[in-house]
């Protein structure tokens, strides 16, 4: 049983984009699923929206083992998989598909991570 809390911090309640709903949903669910899978027990996962001057930024942050700095540039590559125990059943395609969806919708996607602390995935939507 996973014990996690998902928190929402919204600077903007909604914004409109012209996009394929099912693909955008798939992109967010994949990253959220990874956040749950790779987070420590009894920690929060935070979804945050920010209304900036020329973009809307959405981030999903979890607290766990994090991603090694040397591996971070490759997390969106096809078949990239960490060697973590939690990833033993992964295919290495989830984040590559997210990256593909983001590119097709002109969304900037990237990740930042601090080893043994937190990992955040960011989505920047142009206004």
Distance CA 123, CA 127 (A): 13
pLDDT band for position 78 (cuts 50, 70, 90): confident
Q: Which long-range contacts (CB under 8 A, 24 or more apart) does 81-85 make?
A: 84/38
What pLDDT score does 3 carry?
Answer: 86
- Is the CB of residue 8 less than 8 Å from the CB of residue 47? yes
What pLDDT score does 47 carry?
Answer: 98
pLDDT digit string, tens, across residues 81-123: 655 544 545 567 899 999 999 999 999 999 999 989 999 999 9
Distance CA 99, CA 23 (A): 11
pLDDT digit string, tens, across residues 36-57: 989 999 999 999 999 999 999 9
What pLDDT score does 89 carry?
Answer: 55
Which among 6, 86, 72 has a CA at the least distance from the CA of 45?
6
């Amino acid at each position: 049983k996973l014990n996690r809390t998902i928190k929402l911090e919204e600077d903007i309640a909604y914004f409109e984009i012209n996009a394929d709903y099912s693909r955008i949903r798939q992109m967010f669910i994949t990253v959220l699923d990874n956040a749950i899978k790779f987070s420590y027990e009894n920690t929060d996962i935070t979804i945050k929206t920010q209304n900036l001057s020329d973009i809307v930024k959405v981030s999903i942050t979890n607290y766990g083992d994090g991603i090694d700095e040397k591996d971070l540039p490759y997390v969106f590559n096809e078949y990239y998989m960490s060697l973590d125990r939690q990833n033993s059943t992964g295919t290495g395609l989830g984040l590559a598909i997210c990256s593909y969806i983001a590119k097709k919708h002109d969304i900037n996607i990237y990740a930042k991570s601090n080893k043994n602390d937190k990992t955040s995935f960011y989505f920047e939507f142009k206004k």
